[in-house]
Amino acid sequence: MPFQWQARIRKPSPCFEQIVSKVRNSKYGKLIGMRKPIRITAPWPTQEEMEKNFPISKASKKALQALVEEFKAQLSREEESPASSAEPEKRRKRASAA
Amino acid sequence: MPPLPDPKSVFLNVPYDEEFSGIYVAYIVGLYQLGLVPHLASEIPGGDRRLDKIFKLIRSCRYSIHDLSRVEMGDAPTAVPRFNMPLELGMTITWQRLHPSRHDWFVWESDHYRIQRSASDLNGTDACIHNGTPEGVLRELRNAFHRDKMPSVPDMLALYRFVNNNVDAILQRNGTSNRYDKSVFKELCRLSNYLTDILRHVKTAV
């Protein structure tokens, strides 16, 4: 029984989400300061803007580029073996059960 | 009247301490994943008075995040609470009241009831509660801001972990152990932006 309660708290039902949304948009919701998320429509930051606002040295750029390549490799490894990415989760569950 | 603020800019009003550094990285990574650009007081050049520089930065940003979770007494008997974050929040509220269409601010806390005790004048303000975890920061960023095709919290968390695991290399390269250092902040921003770009293109291609 406690497990079911926990599950409910962690994953609210769509009905709960609807109620929260209605309260947010109601006069009362606005009165108590519940605010809707701010919709961001500005374009994504470009590399030129980043270069202008956060200039870094060539050596730093090269080092960051190496990290980017590492991240790409990690992504492609995960794509290649989706089953293996589920493994750590399974291992964790097994460990917590034990 | 100053020029209009950059619609992507977010002033990050956070404590500069070691215990907070994981959450600080989560703010940077999370904001980039929503297409926003964080700014720190430490990045402003020039010899002006610190308070003047901070106010200039607040005016130039469209949004601000004020994390009050570390407004507390330290363990030392001579410790005093740190009031920089509430002070900067006060400046921001005044600026926003004078120019409502130019700025939106958010208060962040680690616990629902702390803010009622530390700053009861803010009662009625919907604070974002991050529970002192990077996951909480990312979740609350998604609650505060919305963008079409924004990533899920697990996706954001994966990117955060990658950046956080590589902070030491960035620190070493910049000859510092301070994550809030200007040069480290700049590299964290650039790395977060590069990685966000890659993830966006991967998701679009799928």
For A13-54, write each residue's pLDDT tens digit: 666 666 766 666 665 655 555 567 899 999 999 999 999 999
Nearest to A64 among B37, B104, B194 (CB): B194
User: Which pLDDT does position A95 carry in this prediction?
Assistant: 47
Partners of residue B104 in chain A, C-beta under 8 Å: 38
Asked if A54 and B186 touch (Cβ cutoff 8 Å), the reply is: yes
Nearest to A71 among B142, B190, B195 (CB): B195
A60 and A95 assigned to the same domain: yes
Length of chain B, in residues: 206
A97 and A62 assigned to the same domain: yes
A85 within a domain of the structure (yes/no) = yes
User: Which pLDDT does position B78 carry in this prediction?
Assistant: 76
Q: Give percent above pLDDT 90 in chain B.
A: 68
- pTM (predicted TM-score): 0.82
Say yes or no for a CB contact (<8 Å) between B190 and A34. Answer: no
Partners of residue B183 in chain A, C-beta under 8 Å: 56
Interface probe, candidates B187, B188, B200, chain A, greatest A C-beta count within 10 A: B187
Q: How far from B169 is each of A63, B165, B184, B198, CA to CA, in Å?
A: 9, 9, 10, 21
A50 within a domain of the structure (yes/no) = no
Say yes or no for a CB contact (<8 Å) between A39 and B146. Answer: yes
Asked if B95 and B74 touch (Cβ cutoff 8 Å), the reply is: no
Q: Who wins on pLDDT, A35 or B188?
A: B188
Partners of residue B124 in chain A, C-beta under 8 Å: 32-33
Residues B32, A54, B202, A80, Cα dihedral to 10°? -100
A70 within a domain of the structure (yes/no) = yes
Show the DSSP H helices in B65-152 as ranges: 84-98, 114-118, 134-144
Query: What domains sit in chain B, N to C, each tagged with a CATH number?
Result: 6-205 (3.40.50.10140)
Nearest residue on chain A to B162, judged by CA atoms?
A: A71
Asked if the model's pLDDT at residue B87 lies above 90, the reply is yes
User: Which pLDDT does position B45 carry in this prediction?
Assistant: 74
User: Which pLDDT does position A98 carry in this prediction?
Assistant: 43
Number of folded domains that form chain A: 2
Which domain, by its residues, includes A81?
56-98
Structure tokens at B155: 């996706």
Structure ipTM: 0.86
Average pLDDT, chain A: 73
User: Which pLDDT does position B6 carry in this prediction?
Assistant: 92
